[in-house]
Chain A
Amino acid sequence: MAESRRKPTEAGRSKVRIRVLRYNPDTDKQPAYRDYTVSVEPTDRVLDALNAIKWYQDGSVTYRRSCAHGVCGSDAMRINGVNRLACKVLMRDVGAEVVIEPLMGFRIIKDLVVDMESFFAQYRSVLPYFVNDSRPPERERLQSIEERERFDDTTKCILCAACTTSCPSFWANEEFVGPATIVNAHRFVFDSRDDAAAPRLERLNGREGVWRCRTVFNCTEACPRDIRITQAIGEVKKAIMYGQIA
């Protein structure tokens, strides 16, 4: 088995079995698991283990990755059955046998790479941008520390889709806008400088909006940025019912 010739940097190197759900629609009838054995250090990321496979054993194993420290949102996948970023999970926390599968609910393009277009289309449907058509002042618009804090949590979203694809309501109905879209609406609805809460809330009050949320909390548990998503969804529901935006 080929592997890197770099010297290990710490003690405690061990062999682990990585089971990857593989699927190439050009050549495979259906997805199937394939096992790989790699040597890892306890502080290696799951992404490092995938790289060890791709770089030295099987270059066709396919996944997205970029920043490798949890801020770009490329490598969301199911790791031992839960949605995680592969670059934010350490090998010492997943055991000697790891099962890696693509996010659920999207078409598989190849292996762990899924088609994100429907996800971004939902995102675009809630006006995910700042709207204020009044003439801006010479300098910045003022906003108090408290007003800024009101939507701080939902500004952290990296659009990785870990929340949406962990949601049973989304699995049951792919037309549901999903938690990530609601998070990105929340970010603007509760921004004191923004003027377009009404059309966003109207969209989220529709058939495929917030009312499909059953408060299961999967999204909150899946979020690699620790956004309190279920709480944010609750705040949007209240804003729709009572017009509370402050």
Chain B
Amino acid sequence: MIHTHTYDALVVGGGGAGLMSAIYLSRDPSIKTAVISKLYPTRSHTGAAQGGICAALANLEEDHPEWHAFDTVKGSDYLGDQDAIEVMCEEAVDVIIELEHMGLPFSRTPDGKIAQRPFGGHTHHFGQGPVRRSCYAADRTGHMILQTLYQNSIKNGVEFFDEYQVVDVLINQGRCVGVVAYEVSTGDLHVFNAKAVLFSTGGFGRVWSITSNAFANTGDGPAIAFRRGIPLEDMEFYQFHPTGIYKLGILITEGVRGEGGVLRNDLGERFMERYAPTMKDLASRDVVARAINQEIREGRGINGKKYVYLDATHLGKDVIENKLPDIADFCRTYLGVDPVKDPMPIQPTAHYAMGGIPTDMNGRVITDASNTVLEGLYAAGETACVSVHGANRLGTNSLLDLVVFGRRAGLDMARYCLEAEIGPLPENPTADIEATFAALLATTDGEPAARLREELQDVMQDEVGIFREGKGMERARVKIRELQERYAKVVVMDKGTRFNTDLMEAWELGNLLDLAQVTTESAINRTESRGGHMREDYLTRNDAEWLKHTLAYRDARGEIELRYKPVTITKFQPKERVY
């Protein structure tokens, strides 16, 4: 059954970026807005963020948005667009105060202000040493942001379509005119006609086998957009967080190191002193993750295995129980390890996409190197690439990105909705997705989607992970093609219409395959090392040839075409990056 709806603005995804934009849209009651989310919004992965959200509030020591901007540019390995970074770091102060006014229960300083702590890569005086910049609510800052934004959405009467999976974006006569969604509980399709659509669907960590990401993080937004001819920017830059729980990948916040925790190898050595003499364990994430894997490669993993220790035993029970209660709980639950007494076994874990759908500073999706706007379509949060994170994101800047650019997108969508007329739907808007689902459901003799997904995750982990080189990535390229062919014969065992998560998982696998292909092709072509993209066959950064953003397109034959776009540099000229 097909239902049709008409709205002014649609927000796809109920995490931080989506809810922030919805709150702004809902302030004008004349703009009819709906949030469409594949999960209940409070299940979104924003809620898993732990350590904090940076802003130069200077509540505990001198700090300036300009220092924050410098750190972000340096963290990005000079690939971030500096105009957008300046905006983010300037607006950070105001947006944190706004969140506090919305009721967000930040931890407090002794004089009642928002508490702040050090975080990786965040420094005073342009790299002189760590600064207390991360505003936090214990180690559940993301949870509190998500809850606060959801609460304020309820307060403002935002309309929700919960557990509706958006499966297509409708582009007609050169502008976005809506989306198609699958109502999970019934299997019905819904066509939403709208003036403005925001994609805020989160990341795609499920491309890799060891990940901090939720099962839901399958990159639906970028994959849908890509199939409709929208490019994806800088997809070769994917962040591995240094400290995931061994084998499970569950995140252990950088806040542990912010509070004084240190990494140790099998010899008990604090090895980060060798890799980053000034910032040590608080160097940026790409640097720390590579150092850990280097130690493991050289045989100094614990007992020769693929992990090292994160040691917080010297912090004392009070700090761990009061400032890091959730990670203490994770360690006790999943490892039987009490971080008050024992070090935590950790390994790097696939964590965050620096790349995504290219946008301008107002969240408007752009489609080429000259910043041509695709009218009516917006993206924000991890789904988008503004680019404020460049080749490597600093810790806490993800939460900041989603509230700053969620707000900017919401404001610009509101402006656009007041001046634009609604565009006509294309003919047969559900034909393509109906054909896709019919094909998935028709197969009776084939392979389970899970097997393909595991093979994809394993090859991406091995060949397109922290260390990369041409030959290995070529193997990944071949393997992904093989998996795409085998995907045509994936079996969906559940043939029903009611809450068919078997069908949804198979469809999501198609998204993971497409995004893995774009990631691999973009990575093969970039013959340098920069930020999260580390090539053993091209060890150094090469600004002469590669100080530019990748734009990957799918051409008419289904092949990937790579184009490039210049980086915006304002105040900070690229220089060597040392922590």
Given A66-B39, A130-B103, residue A140 in contact with residue B48 (CB < 8 A): no
Question: Is B333 at the interface (CB under 8 A from chain A)?
Answer: yes
Whether B185 pairs with A141 at a CB distance below 8 angstroms is no
Complex formed: what's the CA distance from A166 to B101 in Å? 35
| Interface residue A55 (Cβ < 8 Å from any Cβ of B) | yes
The interface-forming segment of B79-87, B141-149, B541-549 is B141-149
Closest B residue to A41 by beta carbon equals: B247
A156-171 interface (Cβ within 8 A of B):
156, 158-159
Cβ-defined contact, A6 with B47, below 8 A? no
Among candidates B44, B96, B148, B494, residue contacting A130 with C-beta atoms closer than 8 Å = B148
Stretch at the interface among A21-29, A32-40, A207-215: A21-29
Choose among B137, B144, B451 the residue that contacts A4 (Cβ–Cβ < 8 A): B451
**Which of B47, B248, B493 lies in contact with A72, CB distance below 8 A?**
B47
Is the Cβ of A54 less than 8 Å from the Cβ of B185? no
**Docked pose: A28 CA to B330 CA in angstroms:** 39
Residues of B within 8 A of A27 (CB): 496
How far, in angstroms, from A128 to B103 measured CA to CA in the complex? 11
Partner of B215, one of A43, A59, A66, A155: A66
Chain A 122-146 near chain B by CB (<8 Å), digits 1 or 0: 0010011111100010111111110
Asked if B424 is an interface residue, CB under 8 A from chain A, the answer is no
> Are the CB atoms of A2 and B215 closer together than 8 Å?
no
In the complex, the answer to whether A151 meets B105 with C-beta atoms within 8 Å is: yes
Beta-carbon contact of B147 and A6 below 8 Å: no
Q: Which stretch of B65-73, B106-114, B294-302, B407-415 is in the interface?
A: B106-114
Contact of B493 among A58, A74, A90 (CB under 8 A): A58
Are A158 and B450 interface neighbours, CB within 8 A? no
| Cβ-based interface call for B230 (8 A) | no
Nearest residue (CB) in B for A141 is B100
A73 contacts which chain B residues (CB < 8 A)?
42-43
B residues 493-535 touching A (CB-CB < 8 Å): 493-494, 496-502
Cβ distance B233 to chain A, nearest Cβ, rounded Å: 26
Asked if residues A155 and B144 are in contact (CB atoms below 8 Å), the reply is yes
What secondary structure prevails in chain A residues at the interface with B?
A: loop
The distance in angstroms between the C-alpha atoms of A143 and B454, with both chains bound, is 48
Contact yes or no, A71 B499, CB < 8 A: no
Partner of A60, one of B43, B148, B330, B502: B502
Stretch of A11-19, A108-116, A231-239 with 4 or more beta carbons under 8 angstroms from chain B: A108-116
Contacts of B467 in A (CB 8 A): none
Asked whether any CB of chain B lies closer than 8 Å to the CB of A194, the reply is yes
Cβ of B451 and Cβ of A71 under 8 Å apart?
no
Measured CA separation A187–B567 after assembly (Å): 45
Instruction: Please encode chain B, from 145 to 161, with 1 for each CB lying within 8 Å of some chain A CB and 0 for all others.
Output: 00110011011000000
Interface residues of B in 297-343 (CB under 8 A from A): 326, 329-330, 333-334
Q: Which residues of B contact A129 (CB under 8 A)?
A: 103, 151-152, 154-155
Q: A5-B451, A155-B147 known; A140 and B97 CB under 8 Å?
A: yes
In this complex, what residue of A is CB-closest to B333?
A88
Question: Size range of the interface on A?
Answer: 35 or more
CB distance from B6 to the nearest CB of A (A): 24
Taking a contact as CB atoms closer than 8 A, the residue among B43, B110, B155 that contacts A67 in the complex is: B43
A151 to B329, CA, bound (A): 20
Q: Kindly identify, within residues 444 to 489 of chain B, every residue whose CB is under 8 Å from any CB belonging to chain A.
A: 448-451, 454, 458
CB pair B214 A155 closer than 8 Å: no
In the bound complex, how far is the Cα of B443 from the Cα of A107, in angstroms?
32
User: How far apart are the CA atoms of A70 and B50 in the complex, in Å?
Assistant: 13
Provide the residues of chain A in CB contact with B114, threshold 8 Å: 140
Q: How far is the CB of B99 from chain A (nearest CB, A)?
A: 9
Known: A4-B451, A110-B499, A144-B112. A43 touches B334 (CB 8 A): yes
Query: Which one of B143, B214, B496 lies within 8 Å of A26 (CB-CB)?
Result: B496
Contact of B498 among A110, A140, A152 (CB under 8 A): A110
Question: Which of B111, B214, B458 gathers the greatest number of chain A CB atoms within 10 Å?
Answer: B214
Residues of A within 8 A of B248 (CB): 69
Give bound CA distance, A148 to B103, whole Å: 12
A30-65: which have CB < 8 Å to B?
43, 45, 51, 54-56, 58-60, 62-65
Q: Is the CB of B326 within 8 A of A60?
A: no
Cβ of A158 and Cβ of B250 under 8 Å apart? Answer: no
Given contacts A70-B333, A143-B112, contact A9 B247 (CB under 8 A): yes
B349-361: CB near A (< 8 Å → 1, else 0) gives 0000000000000
Task: Verify if B102 is at the interface (C-beta below 8 Å from A).
Answer: yes
Nearest-Cβ distance from residue A58 to partner chain B, whole angstroms: 6
Shortest distance in angstroms between A165's beta carbon and chain B's nearest beta carbon? Answer: 16
Q: In this complex, which of A45, A129, A141 has the most chain B Cβ atoms within 10 angstroms of its Cβ?
A: A129
Cβ of A193 within 8 Å of any chain B Cβ, yes or no, is yes
Contact A65 B454, CB 8 Å, known A60-B494, A70-B333: no
Assess the B100–A72 pair: CB atoms within 8 A.
no
Closest A-chain residue to B101, C-beta based?
A136
Among candidates B108, B140, B185, B450, residue contacting A145 with C-beta atoms closer than 8 Å: B108
**12 other contacts beyond A5-B451, A140-B96, with CB at 8 A cut-off?**
A2-B448, A9-B247, A67-B215, A68-B250, A73-B43, A129-B155, A140-B97, A140-B113, A141-B100, A142-B111, A147-B112, A226-B329
What are 11 A-to-B residue pairs whose CB atoms are below 8 Å?
Answer: A9-B247, A45-B334, A59-B502, A65-B215, A69-B330, A109-B498, A110-B498, A130-B148, A130-B151, A130-B155, A140-B97
Q: Which residues of A contact B (CB under 8 A)?
A: 2, 4-6, 9, 24-27, 43, 45, 51, 54-56, 58-60, 62-74, 88, 90, 109-110, 113, 116, 120, 124, 127-132, 136, 138-145, 147-148, 151-152, 155-156, 158-159, 188, 191, 193-194, 226
**When A and B form their complex, which 4 residue pairs have the shortest distance between CB atoms, in order from nearest?**
A130-B103, A59-B493, A55-B450, A142-B112
